[in-house]
Amino acid sequence: MSDIFREVDEDIRREQVRKLWDRFAPYVIGLAVFIVAVTAGYRGWEYWQDRQAQASGDRFTAAMKLSTDGKHAEAITAFEAIAKDSSGSYPLLARFRIATEKAANNDIAGASADFDAIAADTSQPTEIRNVARLRSAMLAVDTATVADLQSRIGDLAGTGNTWRHAAREILGLASWRTGDYAAARKYFTEITNDQDSPQDMRQRSNLMLALIASHLPPEPVTTTPAAVTPPAPDTSSADDAPAADAAPIQAPATP
């Protein structure tokens, strides 16, 4: 008797499962197909991205070969094409290389304009923009005024800034060029006193400080005056002092 009830119960469960499947089967199948399609699409996109990056890398290497061979004009053309239609980080790298190639080809104005354009591009990370600011300032160090360079990179020279060493050196060189030896000494002293300054930069700064010393009087040395110790008070009494009018002691007469 119990077997009959068990069979009836199983039949009811199978019927319920069949009804649920008939009701939700299209959704389950659709979801499975969607997951497979999304996964396949993502894998395909990754493959396409890898191929694009590889192709961009090959183009960038070829452009760098032109630069190494001294073909700066051809290299600029190749980098400009990469900046327009390549993928990944290559467009930004190409923009830096275009400016570098112009500087190597003595187009300082064009190179500075390109670096300034990168520095003004708010879509780029802040550190990338700071690098572009420094590169532009380096190109202008022989011609720009100190005030102009201060407006460009003055904030980067502050204590604790990642780029303070390079910014201080640029400002120090510009100050030296314009004859502001006091300002130049200040910047180079900051470099030599900063324990985090690169060793080669500290050596250059020491050399510049030696040159500056011939144009400026030595910096005053601040010394702390030695403490004056007051004399100890005289604690002797009047009775201990010898009498001023005491007769001299005479030796006994010889018989």
How many angstroms separate the CA atoms of 160 and 188, rounded? 16
Mean pLDDT for all residues in the chain: 81
Per-residue pLDDT, 243: 45
Sign of the torsion angle spanned by Cα atoms 144, 145, 149, 151: negative
CA-only gyration radius of the chain, Å: 42
Mean pLDDT value across residues 125-138: 95
Name the residue ranges covered by the structural domains of the chain. Answer: 22-106
Sign of the torsion angle spanned by Cα atoms 33, 35, 41, 43: negative
Where does the pLDDT of residue 248 fall: very low under 50, low under 70, confident under 90, or very high at 90 and above? very low
Per-residue pLDDT, 134: 95
Mean pLDDT value across residues 216-225: 61
Report the SS3 class of residue 224.
coil
The answer to whether the CB of 212 falls within 8 A of the CB of 188 is yes
Mean pLDDT value across residues 183-198: 94
Where does the pLDDT of residue 30 fall: very low under 50, low under 70, confident under 90, or very high at 90 and above? confident
